[in-house]
Amino acid sequence: MSLSYVAGDSLAHRLDPRTKLALQAGFAVAAVAHTTPTGLLVLTAVTLVFLRLASTPVVASLRSYRAFLPFLVAAPVVEALTLGAPWLVVGDAVRPALASCRVLLLLLVSTAYIRTTPVRASRAAIQHLLPGRVGVLLGAGVGLVLRFLPLMRHDLATIRSAMAARLGDQRSLYDRIRLVGVTGLGRVFLRADRLSLALRARCFAWNPTLPPLSFARRDYPVLALSILLALTALV
């Protein structure tokens, strides 16, 4: 599953992007504040509800982060290992495991936002929240990142498929990392050059025409939930 917008008619698709940004912020505050197993268990249930309302499959979302999951798993293991007897202290792995779980929940909530929010709507929301050139720069930056990430993932998948077709997967691990890394960086620089040329050709403006935003009745309960999640940090 690619990390990009997918058209749909779920509740999350119909929400104002500013509401979804507020919900992400409230969830992040709650996740940072509640680091106990009970708190993370509750937040996990909330995350599953969010994904359900956004029509975002859990397994496919986790597969999108398969490059990062080994690091989240390795952190508790490395923390639990010792250089002498008893070699493994399970208690030392508890805090890193909870931290990894917290990061994973934030990634899943972010995935639901990306899949239900067009890039132009995200840019419009940021520019509404941060007026002036600062908002324009941040909005344009977010828009470019959201557009570039799927392209970079596609480029890397294409490179790996081409290597496999030429028996490149039988090379040593070092050679495979070098080939994918060098070729991938070349693709990134090429796309960056094309983007720079396209921006100059279109006279990148400080006042782009963006879609209008407006809150509907369905946004207010979600905004209230966002505030409630943030307030739980005080409990």
For the chain, 235 residues long, give each residue's pLDDT as a single digit of tens: 567 788 888 999 999 999 999 999 999 999 888 888 898 899 999 999 999 999 999 888 888 887 778 888 888 888 888 777 777 777 778 888 888 899 999 999 999 998 998 888 888 888 887 777 777 777 777 777 777 777 777 777 788 888 888 777 777 877 777 887 888 888 878 877 777 777 667 666 666 677 888 888 999 999 999 999 888 887 7
Residues 6+ apart with CB under 8 A from 218: 11, 14, 15
Co-location of 196 and 218 in the same domain: no
Co-location of 160 and 113 in the same domain: no
Burial tier of 149 (Cβ tally within 10 Å: 0-12, 13-18, 19+): middle
Co-location of 38 and 110 in the same domain: yes
Closest CA to 110 of 2, 3, 217, 221: 3
Can you say how many angstroms the Cα of residue 46 is from the centroid of all Cα atoms in its chain? Answer: 17
Model pLDDT, residue 46? 92
Q: Return the SS3 of 24.
A: helix
Co-location of 70 and 157 in the same domain: no
Closest CA to 222 of 6, 52, 80, 19: 19
Count: domains in the chain: 2
Model pLDDT, residue 168? 73
Co-location of 104 and 35 in the same domain: yes
Model pLDDT, residue 150? 74
Model pLDDT, residue 26? 92
Co-location of 139 and 95 in the same domain: no
Q: How many CB atoms lie within 10 A of CB 75?
A: 17
Co-location of 100 and 133 in the same domain: no
Co-location of 110 and 14 in the same domain: yes
Model pLDDT, residue 45? 93
Spatial distance between the Cα atoms of 20 and 91, rounded to a whole number of angstroms: 37
Co-location of 104 and 11 in the same domain: yes
Co-location of 17 and 126 in the same domain: no
Range of the domain at 137: 120-210
Please give the DSSP secondary-structure letter assigned to residue 203. Answer: T
Type of residue numbered 229? L
Spatial distance between the Cα atoms of 177 and 179, rounded to a whole number of angstroms: 6
Q: Return the SS3 of 145.
A: helix
Spatial distance between the Cα atoms of 208 and 39, rounded to a whole number of angstroms: 42
Co-location of 63 and 166 in the same domain: no
Spatial distance between the Cα atoms of 135 and 71, rounded to a whole number of angstroms: 33
CA distances from 215 to 13, 17, 105, 211, 219 (A): 13, 9, 27, 13, 6
Spatial distance between the Cα atoms of 219 and 15, rounded to a whole number of angstroms: 6
Model pLDDT, residue 206? 61
